[in-house]
Amino acid sequence: MSTTHMPSPCAWTELVAKYQAPDLRRSIQQICNSFIPFIALSVLMYFSLELSYWVTLVMALPAAGFLARIFIIQHDCGHGSFFRSMRANDHLGFLCGILTMTPYKHWRLSHAIHHRGAANLAKRGIGDIDTLTVNEYRELSGWKRLSYRFYRHPFILFGVTPFFNFVVGQRFLFTKYSRKEWASLHWTNLAILGVATLLTLTIGLKALLLIYVPIIALASSLGTWLFYVQHQYERTYWVPDDEWDYALAALKGSSYYKLPSVLRWFTGNIGFHHIHHLSPRIPNYKLKQCHEENPVFQQATVLTLASSLRTASLRLWDEETQRLVGFEHIDLSSRPESV
């Protein structure tokens, strides 16, 4: 995207303003067409255990899609964009967090930090996928390089880490920056324990695990992939703190992930991520409309399913070429000059 066509702050705030009001009818409709199918599929998965576990696993795929859609509702609640009432947003967000195994208020805080510092090299670390610059990687010891390579391997980044984070990591999010959110963490854990206990007494622990483990594994991997591909592509935008600009970070540092209609529906239009970062107060069901009605927002980097797969090989931000690169582009024989 050319900065010469970047709308002024006054211009883009006026453009997005009319899309920011939640529509109660559409919000309730989205609750119904997300929660009801998810619960119905979960019940069918239980009965399918008597037929074949392969049938259960097949049904886990659409169930994971609906769980991802529920996470998008939780996401909108965290931004205060799903209902006009913040109390209503918080109540629904908490309920979503039980199913997604995500403490709502802690996630809301870390995600807000992500929005305030996305594409800012000085503000990496909270609510982001860890990304080093080329020079930072060169300065690491051999073991730390190996550790970073292990972390950024696609199987770990999109498979093992998401599952561990949602199931285990998010049960123990005791950090200084989120101290006020500890109560939400405890209540979420207690609610998950209560629901799990009730279901264990009803259908048995084995059945519960056989049903929910594949759902949360698939949904967490999908969510992590979406978050990754919306910011980690070759010509993305990363700058030092003194050069950071909110609109540029949104429109250059966030992609438009052009998905097929079915996948766009399941992912709650989050592929219009450049619009979302420009105005988090726009409900997910209005993002597409905002994008299509304003040509200035159509200059964002477009990724398709095919082109997005190539981003999985990108690992480091090269400050010299201003692009993300893979490890094969790194010359480890040279080190950054001392300042």
What is the tens place of the pLDDT at every residue in 286-323?
999 999 999 888 888 999 999 999 999 999 999 999 99
CA distance linking residue 163 with residue 318, whole number of Å: 30
Residues 6+ apart with CB under 8 A from 274: 250, 251, 254, 255, 256, 291, 297, 300
Whether residue 227 has pLDDT greater than 70: yes
Question: Residue 44: inside a domain, yes or no?
Answer: yes
| Residue in 121, 120, 133 with CA at minimum distance from that of residue 248 | 120
The set of long-range contacts for 149-158, using a CB threshold of 8 Å and a minimum separation of 24, is 149/315, 149/327, 152/315, 154/312, 157/129, 157/224, 157/228, 158/221, 158/224, 158/225, 158/228, 158/312
Torsion of CA 90, 279, 73, 98, to 10 degrees: -50
For the cut 50, the answer to whether the pLDDT of residue 338 exceeds it is no
pLDDT, average across residues 72-86: 97
DSSP 256-272: EE---HHHHHHTTTTTB
Of the two residues 178 and 236, the one the predictor is more confident about is 236
Distance from C-alpha of 167 to C-alpha of 230, rounded to nearest angstrom: 23
* Domain annotation covers residue 88: yes
Q: Is the pLDDT of residue 249 over 50?
A: yes
How far is the C-alpha of 223 from the C-alpha of 221, rounded, in Å?
5
Q: How many Å from the N-terminal Cα to the C-terminal Cα in the chain? A: 32
Tokens standing for 98?
Answer: 């039980």
Residue 333 maps to a domain: no
* 250-272 residues labelled b (16+ CB within 10 A) or e (exposed): bbbbbbbbebeeeebebbbbbbb
In a domain, 15, yes or no: yes
**Which of 49-63, 104-118, 265-279, 320-334 is predicted with the least confidence, judged by mean pLDDT?**
320-334
E strand segments, 111-239: 132-133
Token representation of residue 102: 């995500």
Question: Which has the closest alpha carbon to 246: 4, 86, 8?
Answer: 8
Query: Where in the sequence is the domain holding 74, given as residue range(s)?
Result: 3-130+153-223+240-304
Q: How would residue 161 be classed by pLDDT, with cut points 50, 70 and 90?
A: very high
Distance between CA atoms of 203 and 195, rounded to whole angstroms? 12
Tokens coding 283: 């409900």
pLDDT, tens digit, 9 for 90 and up, residues 53-69: 999 999 999 999 999 99
Least confident of 117-126, 147-156, 190-199: 117-126
Identify whether 197 is part of a domain: yes
- Count of residues for the chain? 339
Q: Is the pLDDT of residue 157 over 50?
A: yes
Count up the domains in the chain and report the number.
1
Placement of tokens 């950090």 in the chain: 175
| 148 falls within a domain | no
Instruction: Give domain status of residue 136, yes or no.
Output: no
Per the structure block, which two tokens stand in for 248? 């540029």
- For residue 333, pLDDT over 80 is answered with no
- Give this prediction's pTM: 0.91
Please name the residue that has the structure tokens 């963490």.
Answer: 185
Q: Mean pLDDT for the chain?
A: 92
Q: What is the mean pLDDT of residues 17-36?
A: 96
Q: What is the pLDDT of residues 173-189, one digit of tens each?
A: 888 888 888 999 999 99
Q: Is 291 exposed, middle or buried (0-12, 13-18, 19+ CB in 10 A)?
A: buried
Q: Please give the structure tokens belonging to residue 303.
A: 């990724």
Q: Kindly indicate the confidence band of residue 331, based on its pLDDT and cuts at 50, 70 and 90.
A: low
* In a domain? residue 271: yes
